[in-house]
Amino acid sequence: MPILVILRKVVYSKPVDKTTSETKMTKYRKNYKKRADGKAGNNIMLDYKIMYVSRTGNTQRLAVCIYQSLQQLGNGDIEEINCNTEPGKSHLLYVGFCVEKGDCPIEVQELLKKVHNRQIALFGTCGFGQSQEYYDRIVENVKQWIPKDNSCLGAFLCMGKMPMQVRKRYEVMEENPEQREKAQMLIRNFDKALLHPDDADIQNAVAFAREAWEKAESCTDM
């Protein structure tokens, strides 16, 4: 049974049915070509922009793969942001971030506060990711920076590897008998995160991005 990435809800990385994904991609391309040829009664082509912050390369990897998968669907761009970045005029914004203290980085907060009357799809990576509840809390924290006149199409989060100095801190903690159990749990999580984002994470991020694009496109065609 094909696994669909559900919009408006944070999703875990699960295997994607490539046949279903490719069929949808073909449909999207045909719709895009019709609009470009002026055969659909609506010459508006959906423009989108992927904007992200990446500290260790995890979120950047997702951003680049999403951008590559959407290039044939509409007018797109990709940009790594800082605190002074302006959101531009694209109808659909994919905003990517690395999780910092349970929220998005300050650069993303500043960007989101400037966005109005757009459709936004969130994606990101975090060192921890063992529970849906944890992901949900992160997304709710990020969404508080989005002005109410925008429409949030959903969010995708997956685990991402952390710098080795983080593991060294955990190893120091492990030397303390009172912190040993917690430190060992953190070390196990760290080692698991080293494998992410993996191919399944990438496939699911791309599937999520395509679903968001399709939803935004349907609103544009109204």
pLDDT by residue, tens only, the chain of 222 residues: 443 333 334 444 444 454 444 444 444 444 444 444 443 444 456 899 999 999 999 999 999 999 999 988 878 999 999 999 999 999 999 999 999 999 999 999 999 999 999 999 999 999 987 688 899 999 999 999 999 999 999 999 999 999 999 999 999 999 999 999 999 999 998 998 898 999 999 999 999 999 999 999 887 654
Tell whether pTM > 0.85.
Answer: no
- Same domain, yes or no: 81 and 103: yes
- Same domain, yes or no: 106 and 81: yes
Domain count, the chain: 2
- Same domain, yes or no: 114 and 182: no
- Same domain, yes or no: 58 and 77: yes
Tell me whether residue 128 is in a domain. Answer: yes
Tell me whether residue 3 is in a domain. Answer: no
pLDDT at 221: 53
- Same domain, yes or no: 129 and 172: no
- Same domain, yes or no: 140 and 172: no
- Same domain, yes or no: 91 and 179: no
Residue 42: phi, psi to the nearest 5? -150, 110
pLDDT at 44: 56
- Same domain, yes or no: 23 and 70: yes
- Two tokens at 41? 């009664």
- Same domain, yes or no: 186 and 131: no
pLDDT at 218: 81
Tell me whether residue 27 is in a domain. Answer: yes
- Same domain, yes or no: 141 and 176: no
Domain span holding position 181: 162-195
Distances (CA, A) of 54 to 70, 77, 94, 104, 200: 20, 17, 14, 11, 20
Tell me whether residue 36 is in a domain. Answer: yes
pLDDT at 41: 40
| Edge-to-edge order in the sheet of strand 75-80 | 75-80, 47-52, 92-98, 119-126, 151-159
- Same domain, yes or no: 24 and 100: yes
pLDDT at 220: 61
Distances (CA, A) of 151 to 134, 167, 171: 23, 38, 43
- Same domain, yes or no: 91 and 119: yes
